[in-house]
Structure 1
Amino acid sequence: EGQRGTISELLAQNQIPNTVAEQLDALSTQFGTEEDPEGLLALGTAKTDNMYNAGWAWAGDSPFRYTKLIASHFGGTRNPMVISWPAGITPDSTPRSQFHHVNDIAPTIYEILGITPPEEVYGFPQDPIDGTSMVYTFDDANAPGQKKIQYFDNNGSRGIYFDGWYACTFGPLTPWTTGSAEDLENWDSSQDVWELYDLTTDFTQSNDLAAQEPEVLEMMKQLFLEEAEDNLVFPIGGGIWLRIHPEDRLKTPYTSWTFDETTTRMPEFTAPGLGRESSLVTIDVHLDDDNTSGVLYALGGSSGGLSLFIDNGKLKYEYNMMLLKRYQTLPVPIAAGDHIIEVKTLFTSTETFGPADVVISVDGTEVASTTVERTVPAAFTASETFDVGVDLGAAVSLDYADRGPFEFEGTINKVDVTLMVPNSSESSEDMSHEEFWDRIIQEVIRR
């Protein structure tokens, strides 16, 4: 991730400025011990989400150029594949060099099993299968390739294969640098410079033939546009929008929810935008004794997120800002019995990374507060979730990381969440389950 690596993967995706010194300080402060004062032993464990730097990725992609997120060159897309089928393939040592893509795996399996792809599944019409079966290569290593065309696209980096030719353009995003939103916003895809390669003689894309074969290049560029339209690629580079406007991230259309202890593993993009939007969380809870412990609710994971929990009878809130900083309230004793706990989060600025005030109340009395000086604009993690009564996955807080999933020992009757959204045009109470998922699907398609 980047030219320096990272201790928290989504630092880059959130465009959060940081330095190596900040990351090293976070490791030392949070994970340092007498035997390991720098905290380096935390790397590679569930307590961090570290990624090595792009130099290692580039070395691993040799002899191809570039890395993942670059669709224009095979360093970002090409992978070896081995097929083992003792009952149907006679082994030999000759590699198959025919051009194929991941979308060819399903057609291969269908042909092997004699399956006709369904046109409809549970009432949903299926998209046509674009792939080409690879079965023809099983008995003939030198068979002419049957896959004629394949497009590639990732954040505006794009390419197209056609009958041995490959045309491509790098695009606006350089994955190993943070870059700037202004540079991305000023990008004009029509001004991108394209390259052309003859893969039959140059599989590593070393000899650009764009100047020698301008007519072939123009034909390939037109083919890309046709494939892009057929496969809903437009707008080109649409995924970059969130790097410029994180406030437009895909999110639930709901503004209020009621949860209970059965709520676990709710994906972040469908969960309430806690920690990113002003909100009020109200928990109706019963504590069996004065030493109750466990998570009331958590969103995210060890690399970034937030959690409200009780540890040995003391209530505490933590906002884990991508491991760089942990904002916490002071622990507050909470007695056995029934309680209404409120967590009010108020953003005091509309600026990206703007601060937020968090106030904790118990039974109508304010008991603790903290100011999150720098917030996460887009997403805490790529895979962690919202959980009630437990923190599944990698723990948000180090206070209970070694006791995960730190299931709550009392009873959570319900958790009400309300986002403080001005001029909300549609209340979640008026939206059916089907309407909710239709809205989510439409948002995915639109982006």
Structure 2
Amino acid sequence: MTSTPDRHARTALPIPDRPAPGLTTYDAKDPETTYPPIEPLRPPAGAPNVLIVLLDDVGFGASSAFGGPCRTPTAERLAAGGLSYNRFHTTALCAPTRAALLSGRNHHSVGMGSITETATAAPGNSSLRPNTKAPLAMTLKLNGYATAQFGKCHEVPVWQSSPMGPFDAWPSAGGGFEKFYGFIGGENNQWDPALYDGTTPIEPPATPDEGYHLTEDLADRACNWMRQQKALMPDKPFFVYFAPGATHAPHHVPPQWPERYRGQFDDGWDALRERTLARQKELGVVPEDAQLTERHSEITAWDDMPDDLKPVLARQMEVYAGFLEHTDHQVGRLIDTVEQLGVLDNTLIYYIVGDNGASAEGTMNGAFNEMANFNGMAALETTEFLRGKLDEFGSPTSYNHYSVGWAWAMCTPFQWTKQVASHWGGTRNGTIVHWPAGITERGGLRSQFTHVIDVAPTILEAAGLPEPTTVNGVQQSPIEGTSMLYSFTDSDAPERHDLQYFEMFGNRGVYHRGWSAVTKHRTPWNMMGPPPPPFGDDVWELYDGTNDYSQADNLAAKMPEKLAHLQRLWLIEATKYTVLPLDDRTAERIDPGLAGRPTLLHGSSQLLYPGMGRLSENSVLNIKNKSFTVTADIEVPADGAGGVIIAQGGRFGGWTVYVRDNRLRFVYNVLGIRHFATSADADLPVGRHQIKMHFAYDGGGLGKGGDVTLHHGDAVVGHGRVEATQPMVFSADETTDVGYESGTTVSADYTTATSRFTGRIHWVRIDLGDDEHDVDPQERLRVAMARQ
């Protein structure tokens, strides 16, 4: 760092413009006319570039850099040139971890105590970041950094996620990023994603047949942006946040990558855990005395799984391993670009291998189309069906997820998985820090306790920037994380972040000076069983982390006073950071009115206009488990019409009203497995008129069928039958479009390119019947959780 004093007062952002008083001449030609030259805003001299890579749903025991079976040479390369942290922690779930990372505050402090879909009016769970806690990107931008985010953003409140915003929580509006290219939501189709450039929805630049893949696209964009930034502003440091959404389900990857793992997982997850722990000890990323925690009864032993299903299960893991290696390869392209630009030495790189533990949301059997699980229709995916799809896992025709058993193995050597904030399986993620200008040791290991909220203060300290006291005129609350910079140069330095609470849907714990007290309140994949016990009846466990790295030896019965002390600490921290009230409700959190969060839609009728698109399921009336009518006011040219009038969902489930060969059609697609089509028996008349599709739900429960009638004005022109429907959700990423269809298509009768309606649409209206059949709130919560 240079010793030249910084002339800016950087605690108030934006930095106030304060022109120096002095002589003002009348004539610019006066010899005494002088002004200091205009200087672009820059951070203090020597401030590093910053690159944060955050992977999705990767457990501690997955990456080869931390002893796992999935080859990650880029992570290994960075670890060899930097530091590996084997006690770095996240929050156990996607959106909360990201909100904490980007603010330097605990997730409840920034309103993200859980997921946006279950937000309540309680401050810790509102999904609204207070303006007293400005994001890191905003702080860096207002100090002269160039800022860009590529990939996943799941921190937008659900009622603000439509194309009309408001955009306060979107990365390139209120988030402080000058550039955003990626997607809004929990997951996305890697082959056919719903993308945004800033706040503008766009189509992918190519198709799967042309070799498109989302992670590769994101890497292309990030590399190009860094090259351009250094070409035009070489003296200005950048902050790049690369969050690809991989390896969240669906596990989509080009076929050559899984082939590298053919046959390597045939002996199952129990054997894999043993091999992984041995490698972890060999690498030294876990202590030699670390124990392999026992398998809980909720997880089936590999030997007890059906033999005829095992080839499918093994293939699921091969695909996942290929997906992670492919993702690491794309990260390697970013690192190569930074090196080629000549700025690798002074670029502070965080490679955080997972935003939580591995995802156990795929059930014990896994899934070819996870929407089947979400809709309570997993029985459709029989063993025979899954074996028939063996070679399609990971391809554009799949929407796949792996078994709970593999998720558990990816969290070796710990207990539990994603969502379980109590145990390290849910919250411990391998993390690598690389910064040659600031870290002299190569290949070092750091075991100080660290947390995702520590990243922001570390970056500020490395850049020589103070924590702001005001941002945009709003007084800021203190950052709650602890800078990790002290550990960069001293492996034996006493840890400074020695107290940390954890909580997610009642799963909770606390860490204090080597000790942890934890209690698991609910199991992630058992959402439909009996309700969890009262919080006061939860059984707490006690672990001595100094001598028990993996939380294998429960000391609660032997040391009740120590346990009670830590329980009190948890309560104090929970009170301090607005964790309370604890909330494990289902009906109240799923229903916006009861939860106290706004909703975009009201009433039983919705009017839509041509060109409207990329409308998430939260932005469109819910037509499931009830009768509904679609009416459209259209004009048909003299030579007839074709194309989509309105479509919701896509290849893996949805419905569409469209015209083919000048005949009105309706298709209901159940999970990509069953398609029910109704076609008019007469051509559309020329000119302006109304067409209508009416679906009369059978009733008698959820997911039932119904009768279809098609109308030209008052005349009935077609009858059809839908034998089954999807009761819960069509898609995690597909949308509703008027006059065309984006993403994958509901019907094979058209493609995205040929979907645009060739007549004219004046409006489309959806009207709901009054025969809705209620969905169990626990089931709605299960679906919401599984999409994170």
Category of TM-score, reference length = shorter chain: 0.7 to 0.9
**1:79 aligned residue:** 429
Query: What is the CA-CA distance between 1:2 and the residue it aligns to?
Result: 0.7
TM-score for the superposition, normalised by structure 2:
0.46
Q: Residue 306 of structure 1 aligns to which amino acid in structure 2?
A: W
Query: What is the CA-CA distance between 1:370 and the residue it aligns to?
Result: 4.3
1:417 to 766, 770, 786: 766
Q: Residue 584 of structure 2 aligns to which amino acid in structure 1?
A: G
Moved more, 111-120 or 381-390: 111-120
1:254 maps to 2:602 = yes
Query: What is the CA-CA distance between 1:295 and the residue it aligns to?
Result: 2.3
**1:132 aligned residue:** 482
**2:517 aligned residue:** 167
**2:366 aligned residue:** 5
5 Å-filtered alignment, 1:371-386, equals: 371-386=721-736
Deviation per residue, 1:138-172 (Å, 9 max, x gap): 22222222223333333433322222222222222
1:220 maps to 2:570 = no
2:379 to 18, 21, 33: 18
Deviation per residue, 1:232-285 (Å, 9 max, x gap): 445545365489989989853422333223312122223221335543332222
Contact kept, 8 Å, 1:157 with 1:237, in 2: the verdict is no
1:195 maps to 2:528 = no
Query: What is the CA-CA distance between 1:51 and the residue it aligns to?
Result: 0.6
CA–CA separation in structure 2 for the residues paired with 1:404 and 1:241: 41
Deviation per residue, 1:83-105 (Å, 9 max, x gap): 22333333422112122222322
CA–CA separation in structure 1 for the residues paired with 2:627 and 2:478: 43
**1:296 aligned residue:** 645
Q: CA distance change for structure 1 residues 148 and 8 in 2, over 3 Å: closer, same or farther?
A: same
Moved more, 352-361 or 306-315: 352-361
1:319 maps to 2:680 = no
**1:329 aligned residue:** 678
Query: What is the CA-CA distance between 1:191 and the residue it aligns to?
Result: 1.9
**1:104 aligned residue:** 454
**1:426 aligned residue:** none
CA–CA separation in structure 2 for the residues paired with 1:421 and 1:128: 51
Deviation per residue, 1:49-107 (Å, 9 max, x gap): 11111122222222222222222222222221222233333342211212222232223
Figure out how many residues of one structure are paired with residues of the other and give that number.
407
Query: What is the CA-CA distance between 1:11 and the residue it aligns to?
Result: 3.4
**2:438 aligned residue:** 88
CA–CA separation in structure 1 for the residues paired with 2:392 and 2:638: 34
Query: What is the CA-CA distance between 1:290 and the residue it aligns to?
Result: 5.1
CA–CA separation in structure 2 for the residues paired with 1:230 and 1:276: 43
5 Å-filtered alignment, 1:198-277, equals: 198-234=544-580, 236=582, 238=584, 240-241=586-587, 252-255=600-603, 256-277=605-626
CA–CA separation in structure 1 for the residues paired with 2:650 and 2:756: 15
Q: CA distance change for structure 1 residues 159 and 277 in 2, over 3 Å: closer, same or farther?
A: farther
- 3-state SS of paired residue (1:58): helix
Moved more, 206-215 or 335-344: 335-344
CA–CA separation in structure 1 for the residues paired with 2:572 and 2:650: 41
Query: What is the CA-CA distance between 1:387 and the residue it aligns to?
Result: 1.9
Q: CA distance change for structure 1 residues 389 and 244 in 2, over 3 Å: closer, same or farther?
A: closer
Q: Residue 195 of structure 1 aligns to which amino acid in structure 2?
A: E
Contact kept, 8 Å, 2:625 with 2:702, in 1: the verdict is no
Q: CA distance change for structure 1 residues 406 and 362 in 2, over 3 Å: closer, same or farther?
A: same
Q: CA distance change for structure 1 residues 17 and 413 in 2, over 3 Å: closer, same or farther?
A: same
1:286 to 632, 635, 638: 635
Query: What is the CA-CA distance between 1:376 and the residue it aligns to?
Result: 3.4
Q: CA distance change for structure 1 residues 59 and 197 in 2, over 3 Å: closer, same or farther?
A: same
Structure 1 residue runs of 5 or longer lacking an equivalent are 29-37, 423-447
Q: CA distance change for structure 1 residues 168 and 274 in 2, over 3 Å: closer, same or farther?
A: same
- 3-state SS of paired residue (2:431): coil
TM-score for the superposition, normalised by structure 1:
0.77
The CA RMSD over aligned residues, in Å, is 3.6
1:353 maps to 2:703 = yes
CA–CA separation in structure 1 for the residues paired with 2:373 and 2:466: 43
Contact kept, 8 Å, 1:65 with 1:74, in 2: the verdict is yes
- 3-state SS of paired residue (2:433): coil
CA–CA separation in structure 2 for the residues paired with 1:246 and 1:18: 31
Contact kept, 8 Å, 2:601 with 2:620, in 1: the verdict is no
Query: What is the CA-CA distance between 1:367 and the residue it aligns to?
Result: 2.9
Query: What is the CA-CA distance between 1:127 and the residue it aligns to?
Result: 6.7
Contact kept, 8 Å, 2:664 with 2:710, in 1: the verdict is no
Q: Residue 252 of structure 1 aligns to which amino acid in structure 2?
A: L
Query: What is the CA-CA distance between 1:213 and the residue it aligns to?
Result: 1.9
More strand by share: 1
CA–CA separation in structure 2 for the residues paired with 1:119 and 1:362: 64
- 3-state SS of paired residue (2:692): strand
Q: Residue 220 of structure 1 aligns to which amino acid in structure 2?
A: L
Q: Residue 546 of structure 2 aligns to which amino acid in structure 1?
A: T
Query: What is the CA-CA distance between 1:5 and the residue it aligns to?
Result: 0.7
Moved more, 63-72 or 405-414: 405-414
**1:394 aligned residue:** 744
Moved more, 107-116 or 213-222: 107-116
Q: Residue 433 of structure 2 aligns to which amino acid in structure 1?
A: I
Query: What is the CA-CA distance between 1:202 and the residue it aligns to?
Result: 1.7
Structure 2 residue runs of 5 or longer lacking an equivalent are 1-361, 772-788
**1:43 aligned residue:** 393
Q: CA distance change for structure 1 residues 104 and 340 in 2, over 3 Å: closer, same or farther?
A: farther
Contact kept, 8 Å, 1:246 with 1:377, in 2: the verdict is no
Contact kept, 8 Å, 1:280 with 1:345, in 2: the verdict is yes
Contact kept, 8 Å, 2:366 with 2:404, in 1: the verdict is yes
Identical residues among aligned pairs (%): 35
Contact kept, 8 Å, 1:395 with 1:404, in 2: the verdict is no
5 Å-filtered alignment, 1:48-59, equals: 48-59=398-409
- 3-state SS of paired residue (2:432): coil
- 3-state SS of paired residue (2:562): helix
Query: What is the CA-CA distance between 1:206 and the residue it aligns to?
Result: 1.0
Contact kept, 8 Å, 2:372 with 2:380, in 1: the verdict is no
Q: Residue 602 of structure 2 aligns to which amino acid in structure 1?
A: Y
Contact kept, 8 Å, 2:633 with 2:691, in 1: the verdict is yes
Which has the greater radius of gyration? 2
Contact kept, 8 Å, 1:360 with 1:367, in 2: the verdict is yes
CA–CA separation in structure 2 for the residues paired with 1:400 and 1:248: 41
**2:654 aligned residue:** 305
Q: CA distance change for structure 1 residues 225 and 241 in 2, over 3 Å: closer, same or farther?
A: farther
